[in-house]
Amino acid sequence: MTVVFDWQGVDVRLGGRAQVQALQGVTLRIHAGERVAVIGPNGSGKSTLLRALHRLVPVAAGRVEAASRGQAGVVEAGRRQAMLFQRPFLLRCSALNNIRLGLWLAGLPWRATRQPAWAALERVGLQAWADRSARALSGGQQQRLAFARAWALRPQVWLLDEPTASLDPHAKREIEQLMAVFASEPGATLVFASHNLGQVKRLAQRVLYLEGGRLLADLPVERFFDEAILAQTSPQALAFVRGEVG
Ligand SMILES: Nc1ncnc2c1ncn2[C@@H]1O[C@H](COP(=O)(O)OP(=O)(O)OP(=O)(O)O)[C@@H](O)[C@H]1O
């Protein structure tokens, strides 16, 4: 089985003179094909974990992705990853050109970008908005466009940081459907942060629970939501799942 992330005792420090310990001693292994939710109270390190998986923030200590072979599997080199955020970063041009530019930046000649960009727009149902300014689209459409732009590059790993947090209920459902569809493509791996525990139950097979930068639980989703197990995890974990802390 392919190991896509293999961390041993990872620390991440942020801020001036790297004084904030955003992650502390995180050990985890994620295999290809898994659907993993990252949850925890505000400031617990969810975004930092995703950013570090995408190498957007440096690791201060620990071991990341040393190739492991044999029973544990093989860490794949040079895989394609996409990271999406709560608010998509879209360029000031048409929806179609946002995707074309993504493909062009990835090395495709400009003339070869039109067809795959159209296919990506169709994949998320945005063909009718191809020529609209991306920034004039609704929040849900903008997020769909961000998914299309990422999908055009055929990522094997999706890292999503609260992708539905700022959307209305209808758009939330649409994006959740896209997450489910893309995660079910052969070999795709999904790691997403969410405050929406219903969404976690619908989409994830496994839950990583963070508190104060530490990974306190790494469990199959049905075990994580067992109150007896939550109570053993930490007093705050139970309160968090009951909605008593943010
Ligand atoms: N650029 C930064 N500089 C300094 N500290 C930071 C920076 N970004 C995050 N932090 C701190 O690192 C810790 C983890 O933050 P992070 O954003 O990863 O948490 P989170 O679980 O995603 O929070 P939320 O649910 O509020 O989005 C927090 O204490 C936060 O204040």
pTM of the model: 0.93
How much distance in Å is there from the Cα of 113 to the middle of ligand 1? Answer: 37
User: Mind giving me the DSSP string for 32-74?
Assistant: TT-EEEEE-STTSSHHHHHHHHTTSS--SEEEE-----GGG-E
Q: 165: closest CA among 193, 134, 190, 146? A: 193
Structure tokens at 129: 């908005």
- What ipTM score was computed for the predicted complex, to two decimals? 0.97
Per-residue pLDDT at 76? 52
How much distance in Å is there from the Cα of 46 to the middle of ligand 1? Answer: 8
Q: What is the mean pLDDT of residues 80-96?
A: 95
Q: Is residue 17 over pLDDT 90?
A: no
How much distance in Å is there from the Cα of 13 to the middle of ligand 1? Answer: 10
Q: Where are the domains of the chain?
A: 1-78+203-246
Closest atom of ligand 1 to 162 CA is 27
Mean pLDDT, the chain, whole residue set? 92
Per-residue pLDDT at 227? 87
Per-residue pLDDT at 70? 39
Helix-, strand-, coil-residue percentages of the chain, each rounded to 5: 40, 25, 35
Structure tokens at 22: 């955003």
192 touches 38 (CB < 8 A):
yes
Ligand 1 site, CB within 6 A: 14-15, 20, 22, 40, 42-48
- Residue with the smallest CA separation from ligand 1 atom 12 is 22
CATH of domain 1-78+203-246: 3.40.50.300
Q: Is residue 77 over pLDDT 60?
A: no
Q: Please, which pLDDT band fits residue 71 given cuts at 50, 70 and 90?
A: very low
Per-residue pLDDT at 246? 74
Per-residue pLDDT at 63? 85
Per-residue pLDDT at 156? 93
- Span 102-139, pLDDT tens digits: 999 999 999 999 999 999 999 999 999 999 999 999 99
